[in-house]
A and B are shown apart, each in its own frame.
Chain A
Amino acid sequence: MNPFDLFASVSRSPYAHARAEKKNDGKKRIGYFCSYAPEELVHAAGAIPFRLFGARRDIRAADAHLQSYCCSLVRGGLEDALQKELDFLDGAVFPHTCDSIQRLSDIWRLNAGFPIHFDVVMPVKLNTSSARQYMIDVLAKFRKDLEESLQVSISDDAIVESIRLYNRIRDRLEKLYLIRSGNPESLPPSAMNMVMKSAMIMDRAVFLEALEQLLETLSNTKAQSGGSKRKRILISGGICNHPDIYDVLAEAGGDVVWDDLCTGYRYAGGRIDESADPIEAIADRYLTRMACPAKHLSNTARGEHLLEAVREQKIEGVVFLLLKFCDPHAFDYPYLKQFLDDKGIPNILVEVEEQPAPEGQLRTRFETFVDML
């Protein structure tokens, strides 16, 4: 299978892929919801971290545990667990992020029936020395918990090896981002979404190999010399589980060339120092890469970062893609919008519940938006 078909297939049916993969490799799968899950440690323990993106259909079983004012990521994830659709998972890890994920961890542990459960209660602020020390302590404890639950011993060498693999993956992902930004037509509109999703699902070594193949086929891609009438768009928000949005935008004349998404560039951003103490080095990546709004780097870090990305990637319009009931993102939206408005960067807000708005409605909004640019 050529790498692009592979990524398309994996991202379309992640559970089927994981089941098949597990049959072959026999490795444990640990589910997670958040880019603060210390994947490098899970991988060093011989397991494969598997990202959960929430369900895309009606919620039934989860309604008995979660109110309707809880986001579809949390409700959908629990629904899949209760419907036994995650039978390939051995357990899950819950890093501390928002109020909803915090309670999901309790509800999951008490109802989902997995033998393995980790809470990684990370600091919420990332900008003090005591928070850094606490982050290191929490990661060291997670390493121990993994050793106990998975009955393995995790050597420093194994962690360093895992760090190297993740650094290579992030490096190649960044290359792909730059290729797409340099020449948006080099890849189909939703390709980045499919690649990123696959990066969080597949056996990471297998993924890296496929990603390198894809980069190889793109190696002759030249950056566009400009003059295109198409508009350069950045998507900002939490998770994006709706590749159609990229296609609809493309048809309206806008290319998504960059993002600030938890399932996008935030995952690829930041490297881990391979020569430092491995636990400290993992902690330091979390303390320095761009933060999720549930964490605190500074009062304006996300706004400054957004403006920087807009400048560097020559962005002409920003789409805020927010999950309904996601409090941290909704709180940041007015100031991020203000930052963009002050610089004259047009932007629109698209709120996604289980599904985005009907395609027709979305199409009209995007067409109007792109025409305005």
Chain B
Amino acid sequence: MADAPEKARDPEKEKRKIKSVSKMKEIMTNYYIEAKTARDSGKKVAWITSGGPVEPLIAMDVIPVYPENHGAMIGASKMGVDLCEKAEEMGYSRDLCSYARADIASAATNGGPIGGLPEPDFLVCCNNICGTVLKWYEVAARYYNVPLFILDTPFVHREFSDAARDYVIRQIYEYIDFLEVQCGKKADFDRMQEVGKLSVESMRLWQAVLDVAAHKPAPMSAFDAFFHLALIVTLRGKPVVVDYYQGLLDEMNERIRDGIAMVPNEKYRLLWDNLPIWYKTKWLSEKFASHDACLVADTYTSAWSGVLPLIDENNFLETMSVAYTKIYINISIDLMIDKLREMIRKYDADGLVMHSNRSCKPYSLGQYDLQKMVMKELKIPTLIIEADMVDERQFSESQIDTRIDAFMETLKS
């Protein structure tokens, strides 16, 4: 309310707020308006998984839409339980992924924070994040009766074989062929290369943003990373992403210069594992801050930049397809521990908080083993929170409150 008397603002709190946030909201709003009005502007809409190669879509002027980002929005706006229950009434088990349940119900009811996603002209599903997306996209393909392209990225247990490499590279060209048919025009490989360069640049800047949290005290936390992540997921390959992250990085460096920490009196630095608990980010962030603890980094948001060293921007298409196969969640536990170790050292984390997320089996199964490895090898305390990313019925606040207190006591002793 513009005319209402302004509440006295706490200058301490104001100073900690990240200024770029409003710009980010504006970009995302414009993006969803463009996507929802694609029919009017004659553009095609493709639904794509969060780990899928979006760059060819951008190069072909297709508007990418992310059901997973939509799931996160539903969770953050606390509309998850209602939509999940609707999906259960449609016959989808309560044990299924809550992104999928919420999104399927939203499509059927035009529900959720933006009244449902724009209908897809076709679907692109990359299974590097889970097998769930395959089933979820089959549901969407039947519901909208549109073509589905599957990019099948073999899981990396102990090795990534030459056969697997050949397979993903062949599929990238099949993907382009598919897009040419869907869009009714030839692919422009020069444009593809340009988009690839922009994508690599965004990943570099995103990683640089995440890296600032290595500074003590951290100018931003994992909760901020969860918010600012949306652009690298949805629009990488577009110039606006490069500009935005450059601005965000500048702001972060300024905060470091000015000595602004996200958590006042930061004493304990924690690493988060798995997806956020979208409906409880504020509560969790305040809870940890009350113990002078900052979640400085997480294994989730770096998934979009962690494979950067594997990408050669001069051979973007092929190297990208290989890189996307080797993301954090598509590798075995013994490869994951290498990354965890690296992150714990890089951010100088004093403890590890793992979200055991009922919705995400590939991320969560194996956490108990990883936890043991971290405690044994790195000798830092760990906490497992049993919950769900969108379905609030799986979150027991009082129990988790007590467990966090106990964990922090161990950490302080």
B362 and A123: CB pair below 8 A? no
B307 at the interface (CB under 8 A from A): no
B-chain residues with CB within 8 Å of residue A57 when the two chains form the complex: none
In Å, the complex CA distance between A103 and B365 comes to 6
A128 touches B174 (CB 8 A): yes
A90 contacts chain B at the CB level, 8 A cutoff: no
B386 CB contacts on chain A under 8 angstroms: 67
Is A325 on the interface with B (CB-CB < 8 A)? yes
Asked, given contacts A99-B362, A137-B163, whether A125 binds B91 with beta carbons under 8 Å apart, the answer is no
Interface residues of A in 319-336 (CB under 8 A from B): 324-325, 327-328, 330-335
B131 lies within 8 A of A330 (CB) = no
Residues of B within 8 A of A334 (CB): 90-92
Q: What is the minimal beta-carbon distance from A308 to any residue of chain B, in angstroms? A: 18
Residues of B contacting A368 with CB < 8 Å?
Answer: none
Please determine whether A141 and B163 come into contact, CB atoms closer than 8 angstroms.
yes
Residues of B within 8 A of A124 (CB): 127, 131, 134, 150, 152
B368 within 8 A of A: yes
Contacts of A69 in B (CB 8 A): 95, 358, 361
B-facing residues in A77-125 (Cβ within 8 Å): 96, 98-100, 102-107, 109-111, 119, 121, 123-125
CB pair B136–A331 under 8 Å, yes or no, is yes
**Cβ-closest chain B residue relative to A337:** B91
In the complex, the answer to whether B95 meets A325 with C-beta atoms within 8 Å is yes
Given A133-B167, A331-B96, A334-B91; A119-B157 close (CB under 8 Å): yes
Contact indicator B157/A141 (Cβ below 8 Å): no
Q: Mark B165-190, 1 if CB is under 8 A from A, else 0.
A: 01100110010000000000000000
Q: Which residues of B contact A337 (CB under 8 A)?
A: 91
Report the tally of A-B residue pairs with Cβ distances under 8 A.
Answer: 139
Docked-complex contact B361 and A100, CB < 8 angstroms: yes
Which stretch (B71-79, B137-145, B293-301) binds chain A? Answer: B137-145
CA distance A327 to B358 in the complex (A): 12
Given contacts A105-B157, A327-B132, contact A110 B152 (CB under 8 A): no
State the CA gap A64–B367 with chains docked (Å). 10
| B139: contacting residue among A98, A121, A331, CB under 8 A | A331
User: Does residue B148 face the partner (Cβ distance < 8 Å to A)?
Assistant: yes
Residues of B within 8 A of A99 (CB): 130-132, 361-362, 365
CA distance A130 to B91 in the complex (A): 35
Is A76 interfacial (CB 8 A cutoff)? no
Would A110 and B333 count as touching, CB distance under 8 A? yes
Interface residues of A in 253-279 (CB under 8 A from B): none
User: Shortest distance in angstroms between A349's beta carbon and chain B's nearest beta carbon?
Assistant: 8
Smallest beta-carbon distance A203→chain B, Å: 29
Contact A102 B362 (CB under 8 A): yes
Question: Is the Cβ of A65 less than 8 Å from the Cβ of B131?
Answer: no
- Min distance, Cβ B56 to any Cβ of chain A, angstroms: 17
Give the complex CA separation of A109 and B333 in angstroms: 10
Known: A296-B150, A331-B96. A65 touches B91 (CB 8 A): no
Give the distance to chain B from A104, nearest Cβ to Cβ, in Å: 8
**Are A134 and B369 in contact (CB-based, < 8 A)?**
no
Residues of A close to B166: CB separation below 8 A: 133-134, 137
CB of A350 closer than 8 Å to a CB of B: no
Q: Tell me, yes or no, whether B356 is within 8 Å of chain A by CB.
A: yes
Among B92, B141, B157, B163, contact of A299 (Cβ-Cβ < 8 Å) = B141
Q: How large is the interface on B (under 10, 10 to 19, 20 to 34, 35 or more residues)?
A: 35 or more
User: Which residue of the partner chain B has the closest CB to A121?
Assistant: B154
A103 touches B158 (CB 8 A): no
Residues on A with C-beta less than 8 A from B96 are: 327, 330-331
Cα of A324 to Cα of B155 in the assembled complex, Å: 24
Task: With CB as the reference atom, state the residue of chain B lying closest to A302.
Answer: B138
Q: Is B399 an interface residue (CB 8 A)?
A: no
Contact between B362 and A299, CB atoms less than 8 A apart: no
Residues in B with CB closer than 8 Å to A327 are: 95-97, 131-132, 135, 361
Nearest CB of chain B from residue A154's CB, rounded to whole Å:
18
| A210 in contact (CB, < 8 A) | no
* B334–A106 CB distance below 8 A: yes
When chains A and B are docked, how far (Å) is the Cα of A268 from the Cα of B174?
33
Which of A104, A107, A131 makes the CB contact (< 8 A) with B152?
Answer: A131
Q: How far is the CB of B288 from chain A (nearest CB, A)?
A: 23
A293 to chain B: closest residue by CB: B135
Q: Decide if A294 is an interface residue (CB 8 Å cutoff).
A: yes
Residue in contact with B155 in the complex, picked from A102, A109, A130, CB distance below 8 Å = A102
- Residues of chain B lying within 8 A (CB to CB) of residue A64: 368
Answer yes or no: A70 CB below 8 A from chain B CBs. yes
Say if the beta carbon of B239 comes within 8 Å of chain A: no
Q: Are A121 and B135 in contact (CB under 8 A)?
A: no
Whether a CB of chain B sits under 8 angstroms from the CB of A138 is: yes
Most B C-beta atoms less than 10 A away, residue of A104, A141, A299, A351: A299
B361: contacting residue among A70, A324, A331, CB under 8 A: A70
Q: Is A66 an interface residue (CB 8 A)?
A: yes
User: A107 touches which one: B90, B97, B138, B369 (CB < 8 A)?
Assistant: B369
Which residues of B311-367 have CB atoms within 8 Å of chain A's CB atoms?
332-334, 356, 358, 361-362, 364-367
Q: Which of A326-363 contact B (CB under 8 A)?
A: 327-328, 330-335, 337, 351
Report if A364 contacts B (CB, 8 A): no
Docked CA distance A110–B134 (Å): 28
Which residue in B91, B135, B362 is a CB contact (below 8 Å) of A328?
A: B135
Flag if A335 contacts B365 (CB, 8 Å): no
| Chain A residues at the B interface, C-beta cutoff of 8 Å | 64-67, 69-70, 96, 98-100, 102-107, 109-111, 119, 121, 123-125, 128, 130-131, 133-134, 137-138, 141, 293-294, 296, 299-300, 324-325, 327-328, 330-335, 337, 351
Which residues from chain B sit less than 8 Å from chain A, CB to CB? 90-93, 95-97, 100, 127, 130-132, 134-136, 138-139, 141-142, 148, 150, 152, 154-155, 157-158, 161, 163-164, 166-167, 170-171, 174, 332-334, 356, 358, 361-362, 364-369, 386
Besides the known contacts A103-B366, A141-B163, 19 further A-B residue pairs in the complex with CB atoms under 8 A apart: A65-B368, A66-B368, A67-B356, A67-B364, A67-B367, A99-B131, A99-B361, A100-B361, A102-B131, A121-B164, A123-B152, A124-B131, A130-B174, A137-B161, A138-B161, A296-B150, A330-B92, A331-B136, A334-B92
